[in-house]
Amino acid sequence: MHSYLEFEKPVADIEGKIQELRAIAAEDGEAVNVDDEIERLNAKSAQTLKDLYAKLTPWQKTLVARHPDRPHAIDYIAGLIEDFTPLAGDRKFAEDHALIAGIGRFRGQSVAVLAQEKGHDTETRLKHNFGMVRPEGYRKAVRIMELAERFSIPLISFVDTSGAYPGRGAEERGQSEAIARSTDVGLGLGTPSVAVVIGEGGSGGAIAIATANKVLMMEHAIYSVISPEGAASILWRDSAKAQDAATALKITAQDLKQLGVIDDIIEEPVGGAHRAREIVIDTAGKSIEAALQDLADLSADEVRRQRREKFVAIGRNLS
């Protein structure tokens, strides 16, 4: 059973009728033939879903990006990275489970991996702190980036966070400095880097591991300096205006591609990534592979220059 979003209610109603018909058929056996009606309803459900996802609003895309069944960072690592060896700790304070880091092989090539993990149920969400990284997580990210630089291996980042952890302890341990340091090291890497926004890319907590040569984004992901709810609370002092804020913020992949914030959009199946997880992960892998191939022949200085020019040019090519 799918977990339906509010705007998917028409699809939920149709698929509910399909389940009712199947239950009737199971009870009455051959006495009732509902195959034709089920086939008709399946076609209607598929078309309704296609129509809904063809015209999603920015707020609806936000809901899709946050869908509880959407593939998480650990799913992308499991599906794309072979022989993954996680590396823990920042060598200064503690291990941060919100940020998974390590070394593995991607399509036969050694890579370093950074990934923000939100968790998929209560236990894992608490373990991973809902994907909100603490200072030690960003210092671990710096450690992995420097390791990638030392051994001249590409860096792949999977971005999925509502933002860096805003707790008192994190602030006392230098949260802003850790984010700034991670961003700076990412910008200065001489090894190629690719970042993929797989769900929610929130503020500096996201960009700290997304200062890459190529920034890719799932079709229904979002990427913004602040959440729609946060922006609504600041601008209108009313979080109920989150839908208006989502539109004003230009948080969708389509808007950000036009602005030059991201380089490419990775298509999702009709109904979102949560409806075809394996297909989505494979598609993302092909996009990452293509991005790394584009960067493969560049020298360290050329990699740095390409990355710098990319970020300097953001927003400048608008007509």
* More confident: 316 or 48: 48
Residues 160 and 209 in one domain: yes
* 243 domain-assigned: yes
Q: Residue range 95-106: average pLDDT?
A: 96
Residues 205 and 261 in one domain: yes
Looking at residue 277, which CATH number applies to its domain?
Answer: 3.90.226.10
* 1 domain-assigned: no
For a pLDDT cut of 90, what percent of the chain falls above it? 84
Residues 49 and 66 in one domain: no
Written as one letter, the residue type at 139 is: R
User: Is pLDDT at 72 greater than 90 in this prediction?
Assistant: yes
Angle in degrees, CA 154, 288, 207, rounded to 5: 70
* 215 domain-assigned: yes
For position 315, what pLDDT does the model report? 77
Residues 225 and 98 in one domain: yes
Q: Which tens digit of pLDDT belongs to each residue from 157-169? A: 999 999 999 999 9
For position 31, what pLDDT does the model report? 56
* 10 domain-assigned: yes
Instruction: At 30, list the tokens.
Output: 């051959």
Q: Residue range 9-27: average pLDDT?
A: 86
Residues 51 and 142 in one domain: no
For position 293, what pLDDT does the model report? 96
Q: How confident is the model at residue 19 (pLDDT cuts 50, 70, 90)?
A: confident
Residues 46 and 192 in one domain: no
Residues 95 and 147 in one domain: yes
Are residues 158 and 116 in contact, defined by beta-carbon separation less than 8 angstroms? Answer: yes
Q: In the chain, what are the helix, strand and coil shares in percent, each to the nearest 5?
A: 55, 15, 30
Mean pLDDT of the chain: 93
Q: Which tens digit of pLDDT belongs to each residue from 106-154? A: 999 999 999 999 999 999 999 999 999 999 999 999 999 999 999 999 9
User: In the listed set 55, 75, 94, which residue is the last one of a domain according to the structure?
Assistant: 55
Q: Residue range 285-301: average pLDDT?
A: 96
Residues 81 and 161 in one domain: yes
* 317 domain-assigned: no
Residues 17 and 133 in one domain: no
Q: How confident is the model at residue 176 (pLDDT cuts 50, 70, 90)?
A: very high
For position 154, what pLDDT does the model report? 98
Q: Residue range 41-45: average pLDDT?
A: 91
User: Is pLDDT at 45 greater than 70 in this prediction?
Assistant: yes
Residues 49 and 120 in one domain: no
For position 18, what pLDDT does the model report? 87
The number of domains in the chain is: 2
Are residues 281 and 267 in contact, defined by beta-carbon separation less than 8 angstroms? Answer: no
User: Could you identify the residue written with the tokens 């792949």?
Assistant: 156
Torsion-angle region of 217 (φ positive above 0: left; ψ -120 to 50: alpha; else: beta): beta
Q: Residue range 57-77: average pLDDT?
A: 95
User: Is pLDDT at 286 greater than 70 in this prediction?
Assistant: yes
Residues 121 and 270 in one domain: yes
Distance CA 102, CA 104 (A): 7
Q: Which tens digit of pLDDT belongs to each residue from 179-194? A: 999 999 999 999 999 9
* 213 domain-assigned: yes
Residues 82 and 216 in one domain: yes
* 319 domain-assigned: no
User: In the listed set 18, 37, 55, which residue is the last one of a domain according to the structure?
Assistant: 55
Residue 16 Cα to chain centre, angstroms: 30
Are residues 229 and 187 in contact, defined by beta-carbon separation less than 8 angstroms? Answer: no
Q: Which of 41-45, 85-89, 127-131, 315-319 has the lowest mean pLDDT?
A: 315-319
Residue 14 sits in which domain range? 6-55
